[in-house]
C-alpha cells in the first residue's frame, strides 16, 4: 500500500510540474519583465520558487563577505541552490520504493522458510509423510514468496519509471534556471544591484 501510494503521489507531482513547464513557456517568457513573469506563475510552484530566488539574489548582494563574490557567480550559485532544493524534493519517497523493491523478495522468502519449517515440524510430530500431508502446508508457505514478489516487482518498475521522469523534470528546471540567469544578468526588468568590482589580486585568485 505504501509503494502504490508513493507512486500515485509522485506521478501526480510530476504531472503538475510538466504542466507548469508549459505555463512557463506560454506566459513567463512572454512577460515584459522577470517580476511580471513571476506573477504569472502559481505560488508555491518550483518554477516560481526558482524565479523568486534568482530575483532575490540580484537584490541582496550586500555585506563585506558577499561583496567579494561577483554578481554573476552569486546569481549562478543562488539559482543552482534553488534547483538543487527542488531536485531534493523530487527525490522524496523514491528511497522507500528502492528499499521495498530490494527487500520484499527476501521478506517473502523468509516467510516461506518459516512456513515450511513449521509444516515439516507438524508432519514430523504427526508421523505421517504422505504427499497430501506435505503438499498442502508447503504450498501455503510458498504464498509468502508470491506476496513478496507481488510487492517488489511494482516497486522496482515504479522506481525506475519515476527516476526517468524526474530526469526530464530536472532538465526543464535546469533549462529554466540557465535562461533566467542570462535574463537577470542582462537586466530583465529587474533592478540589479551590482557590487564593487573585485580587487585585481582577488580577481587573479
pLDDT at 194 over 50: no
pLDDT at 139 over 80: no
Place of cell 506435505: 134
CB of 51 closer than 8 Å to CB of 38: yes
Q: Tell me the average pLDDT across 7-14.
A: 90
State the Cα–Cα distance between residues 54 and 34, nearest whole angstrom: 10
The pTM assigned to this predicted structure is: 0.71
The pLDDT value given to residue 163 = 92
- Average pLDDT of the chain to the nearest whole number: 80
The pLDDT tens digits of the residues spanning 18-51 come to 988 888 888 888 887 888 888 888 888 888 898 8
Q: Which of 25-34, 76-85, 108-117, 183-192 has the lowest average pLDDT?
A: 183-192
State the Cα–Cα distance between residues 71 and 54, nearest whole angstrom: 11
Distances 150 to 87, 94, 102, 112, 116 between C-alpha atoms, Å: 30, 18, 12, 14, 20
Which carries the bigger pLDDT value, residue 141 or residue 187? 141
The pLDDT value given to residue 196 = 42
Name the pLDDT band for 130 (thresholds 50, 70, 90): low
pLDDT at 141 over 90: no
The pLDDT value given to residue 192 = 43
User: Alpha-carbon torsion 19, 21, 24, 29, what sign?
Assistant: negative
The pLDDT value given to residue 146 = 87
Amino acid at each position: 500500500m505504501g509503494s502504490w501510494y508513493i507512486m500515485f503521489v509522485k506521478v501526480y507531482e510530476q504531472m503538475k510540474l510538466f504542466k507548469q513547464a508549459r505555463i512557463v513557456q506560454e506566459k513567463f517568457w512572454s512577460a515584459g519583465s522577470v517580476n511580471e513573469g513571476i506573477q504569472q506563475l502559481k505560488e508555491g510552484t518550483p518554477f516560481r520558487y526558482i524565479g523568486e530566488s534568482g530575483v532575490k539574489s540580484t537584490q541582496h548582494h550586500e555585506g563585506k563577505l558577499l561583496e567579494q563574490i561577483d554578481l554573476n557567480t552569486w546569481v549562478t550559485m543562488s539559482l543552482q541552490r534553488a534547483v538543487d532544493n527542488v531536485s531534493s524534493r523530487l527525490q522524496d519517497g523514491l528511497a522507500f520504493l528502492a528499499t521495498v523493491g530490494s527487500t520484499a523478495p527476501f521478506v517473502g522468502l523468509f516467510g516461506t522458510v518459516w512456513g515450511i519449517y513449521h509444516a515439516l515440524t507438524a508432519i514430523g510430530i504427526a508421523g505421517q509423510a504422505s504427499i497430501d500431508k506435505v503438499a498442502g502446508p508447503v504450498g501455503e508457505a510458498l504464498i509468502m514468496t508470491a506476496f513478496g514478489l507481488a510487492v517488489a516487482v511494482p516497486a522496482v518498475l515504479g522506481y525506475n519509471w519515476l527516476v526517468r521522469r524526474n530526469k526530464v523534470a530536472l532538465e526543464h528546471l535546469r533549462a529554466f534556471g540557465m535562461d533566467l540567469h542570462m535574463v537577470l544578468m542582462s537586466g530583465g526588468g529587474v533592478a540589479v544591484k551590482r557590487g564593487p568590482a573585485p580587487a585585481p589580486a582577488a580577481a587573479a585568485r
